[in-house]
Amino acid sequence: MDLPFLRANPHLLPTFLAHQRLRTTPVAGGSISVAERIVLDDGTHLFLKTWPGGISAVPTAEPAPAPPGLFEAEADGLRWLRAAGGVAVPELYAQTGELLLMQWVDHADPTAVAAERFGAGLAVTHGAGAPEFGAATEGFLAGLPLDNTPGDDWPTWYREHRILPYLKLAVDAGALDPADATYIESIHIEAPTEPPARIHGDLWPGNIVWGPVDVPWLIDPAAHGGHRETDLATLFLFGGAPFSARIIAAYNEIHPLDPGWRTRIPLHQLHLLLAHAVLFGRPYRSAVLDAAAHYR
């Protein structure tokens, strides 16, 4: 069993897994999908991502198919970000409606050098641009539908296609009250007018892999044309990325930010906080309301 064969025959992966023809090891850290490390006979290490209950060798309690288009959207995003030539993105070897098979990246400790490399690379990725805000196809954010309807005015687009959809889902899930929704709907959304950037779209610190020899990698994208401040703002969520000052300094050397960008960090974080409220419930209510309070 070698990589060229698997790349040519991804549809055979379920059979190989079921009959233990491939050595697999579960990988911790995924809250939505199942991740496994595959070792081929020639010693090649690969990363396999599947939906819980799908073809994975890891047993799950309630088998269910992946949302239609989930892996296709992630594959498109990986290729699009990799083509920008900025931050490194794992090479995608195979993709079906049930799985992604890609390059394995070893983990290492983050360093100041890697952080500077990440900041500079992210500026290049963003600078590759996008035809419009949104994308030609619908996407996903941690398994939730992502409305990528194209638009050309970022404040309007962000409200209609990022804030309002997740706000409704959060209220429906009981994570927010109807009065909370009314409060959030009234916020003022603005940012410097810029052309659409090629953004990762879900760039919280857990979606950076700090690899060996000071090479950072992007994983798990919700890629689309967006405002570049969104990626930078979400880097500060959940404890923040290591060496964040080095990241921003290196970014600014290549693609300087508006001096007031930090005042908009909670605004750009709001859609991810709403998505977490949908997924994980009422504990995220206060974070959502605190972020919105800056823009009343």
Active site residues: 202
Q: Do the Cβ atoms of 103 and 169 come closer than 8 Å?
A: no
Longest dimension (CA), the chain: 59
**Tokens 């992502």 belong to residue:** 146
Distance separating alpha carbons of residues 158 and 161, to the nearest angstrom: 5
Distance separating alpha carbons of residues 162 and 278, to the nearest angstrom: 13
Nearest to 185 by CA among 270, 265, 261, 279: 270
Nearest to 197 by CA among 220, 223, 221, 216: 223
The sign of the CA dihedral 101, 102, 105, 111 is: negative
Structural element, H or E, at residue 208: strand 208-211
Specify the 3-state DSSP secondary structure of 287.
Answer: helix
Output the six-digit token pair for 176.
């927010």
